[in-house]
Each structure stands twice: as C-alpha cells, then as structure tokens.
C-alpha cells in the first residue's frame, strides 16, 4: 500500500477497516439502474426478472432521491464480479430490454450507469467491522489501518497511485462548462450513451444511524445530518468551483421501498483531487467534520453511528452510461 501522503509518525484519529479481495484477476462491476417517475413499478418489473437467477448480483440495494430538477429517481445498485456480469448480460437479455423501442414510449426516464471497478483503482473505508456497499462482497475486512484521517489518505489507499498521479484532463471551466465526453445520440436524442472520461472519480459515501437510539439518534439527525445535506448540495450545485460533475444524495430503501436509517452520497468528479480538495479545505466539509467530531467526543466508545465509503478512479474502458428520455441534468448527460 503506498503511503506517499501520510505524515511522519502518524496516528489515526479513530479505527477504520478496508475491504480485501483475494481474486484480483476478476475485478468488480457496479451497476446503477434508475427510473425518473412517480412510481418505480416499471423498473421493478424489470428488476424482478433481470436481477435474480444464476447470474444475479452478489449484492443489491435500492434507494430514492430528488434531483436538482426536483424529479424523483428510484434506483437499484448491483455489484458483480466482472466475469459473472458479462454472463448476466447475455443470459438475462438485459441489453435487449434496454435497447428496446418500448423504453422510449413509456412516459418515464430510464438511466443506467455501469462502472468497472479494477481493484488497483479502488479503495474502501469502514468505521466499523460491519461492511457496507462493495465491502459487503469482499473476502474480508482488514484493519484497523493507518492510511486514513489525513489529506491524501484516499489516494494512498488506491494501489495504482503508487506510480500514477490519477489526474484528469477533463475540467469544467467558466468559459466552457461542457466537457469533451464521448457520447452517442440515438432515436433523435431520446437515447444517449456516454463514456465517462478516464480517471473520473466516483465516490459512494454512506451513513448508517440504524443502531443509534435516543439522544444519539437525535444528535445525528439534528446536528450532523443537516450539515451533511448542505455539503452534498454545494457539490451538486457548483460544478465549476468543485469540478464535481454530479452529486446525488440518496435515501437507502428496503427491497419494498420502505424507509431505512441509512443514506449515501453518490458523486462523480473530474478526478480524485476534486473530492480531496473539497474535503481538505472547503467550509461545507469542515463543518461536517466539526459536527461529526462533536458527536464522537459526546458519545465516545458508545458511538453507534457507522460511516463508510468506496472510491473508484475510472479506467479508460469498461464503463458505459445510458440515458433514455431523461432530463438534461441527469448524471453526466449535461456534458454529452
């Protein structure tokens, strides 16, 4: 593990664990499958046949959020090994369903974002030994680890950063907000396929307060969560200042779309430095950190809040985003 940014004699502020996979030859894939509609029923009908069976994902989650255009989105999150994902594509006729002209005439917006997760471009962090997200399909959680709690720790946990700066040449500027993103428009623009730029950084950063009760739950919901929402909104609404292409703040749901005590931010940025710079110096993140540390100091060893994240720096190939009848600010669509 590279430690290029770790301060000398560093002592982590709190214990943390990271995921470990034995089989690095078969990397991971995550698929985000969404619908913009008043109800998830059309996407549910697809998922109930497509995301089951022999090649079903190893882990699946669901969530909802209201986007910048005030449109409600329902989404499924599915994790596979790449070899299984490729078999799933063929066996379940997924490509045929998404490519069908029926999707164009159902009065809703569909989107799918398929992300390759090579293990040398991936890092995870968990504040407890309870795994979340992609860590739930790992062979084990390692820890406690040293490489966290300092500026650059996220990069230090990505193996490829030892010999690659992971920089992007795709920046958003005040003069030209549009990126040079490879895209293909089909069906008179109703269907748009986007290939995200190499080294785009994707973060999924989650919060689980389900084990917090009484005063601890109240502290999180009244003191920490509102500040977190403010930070996510700033990233979503200020792409030029932050180089964050897209940020969604998602409420995690059960498999029947019932509420849970979990949430996560799903963000795409020009590169890993965009998120790093925001975390290191921007007032909205410093406020989040301040409120969280207050919670840690208040409850100490009894703290039941669980935080986690996964970060992947995208490879040149293996990722594909598709948007069908979606509004122009969906995901990376506005940069197509």
Q: Could you give the residue numbers annotated as active site? A: 309
Whether the CB-CB separation of 94 and 107 falls below 8 Å is answered with no
Q: Residues near 193 by Cβ (< 8 Å), separated by ≥ 6? A: 183, 184, 186, 320, 321, 322
> Quick one: which of 61, 74, 59, 62 has its CA closest to 28?
59
Describe the crossing of helices 283-299 and 272-281 by its angle, rounded to 10 degrees. 60
- The phi and psi torsions of 163 (rounded to 5 degrees) equal -135, 15
Distance CA 137, CA 132 (A): 9
Name residues whose C-beta falls within 8 Å of residue 89's C-beta, 6 or more positions apart in sequence.
95
For residue 305, report the phi and psi dihedrals to the nearest 5 degrees.
-70, 135
> DSSP characters for 208-272?
E-TT--HHHHHHIIIIIHHHHHHHHHHHHH-HHHH-EEEEEEEEEE-TTS-EEEEEEEEEEESSH
Judge contact between 22 and 139, C-beta under 8 A.
Answer: yes
**What SS3 class is residue 107?**
coil
Please classify residue 70 by burial: count the beta carbons closer than 10 Å to its beta carbon, then call 0-12 exposed, 13-18 middle and 19+ buried. exposed
Tokens 């560093």 belong to: 10
The C-alpha atoms of residue 251 and residue 232 are separated, in whole angstroms, by 13
């Amino acid at each position: 593990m590279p430690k290029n940014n770790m301060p000398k004699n560093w002592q982590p502020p709190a214990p943390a664990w990271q995921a470990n996979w034995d089989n690095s030859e078969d990397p991971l894939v995550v698929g985000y499958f969404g619908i913009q509609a008043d109800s998830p029923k059309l996407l549910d009908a697809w998922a109930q046949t497509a995301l089951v069976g022999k090649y079903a994902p190893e882990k699946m989650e669901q969530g909802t959020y209201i986007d910048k255009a005030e449109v409600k989105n329902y989404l499924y999150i599915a994790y596979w090994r790449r070899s299984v994902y490729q078999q799933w594509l063929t066996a379940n006729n997924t490509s045929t369903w998404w490519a069908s002209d029926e999707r164009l005439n159902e009065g809703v917006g569909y989107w799918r974002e398929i992300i390759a997760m090579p293990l040398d471009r991936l890092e995870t962090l968990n504040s407890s030994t309870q795994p979340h997200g992609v860590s739930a399909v790992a062979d084990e959680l390692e820890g406690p680890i040293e490489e966290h709690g300092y500026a650059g720790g996220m990069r230090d946990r990505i193996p490829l950063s030892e010999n690659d700066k992971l920089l992007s040449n795709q920046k958003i500027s005040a003069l030209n907000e549009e990126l040079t993103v490879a895209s293909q428009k089909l069906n008179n623009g109703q269907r748009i396929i986007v290939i995200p730029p190499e080294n785009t950084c994707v973060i999924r950063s989650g919060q689980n307060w389900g084990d917090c009760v009484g005063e601890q739950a109240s502290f999180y919901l009244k003191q920490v969560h509102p500040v977190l929402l403010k930070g996510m909104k700033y990233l979503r609404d200020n792409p030029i200042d932050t180089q964050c292409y897209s940020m969604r703040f998602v409420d995690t749901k059960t498999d029947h779309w019932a509420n849970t005590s979990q949430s996560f931010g799903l963000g795409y940025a020009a590169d890993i430095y965009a998120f790093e710079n925001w975390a290191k110096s921007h007032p909205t993140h410093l406020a989040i950190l301040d409120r969280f540390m207050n919670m840690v100091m208040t409850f100490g060893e009894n703290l039941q809040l669980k935080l986690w994240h996964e970060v992947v720096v995208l490879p040149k190939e293996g990722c594909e985003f598709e948007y069908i009848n979606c509004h122009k600010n969906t995901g990376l669509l506005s940069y197509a």
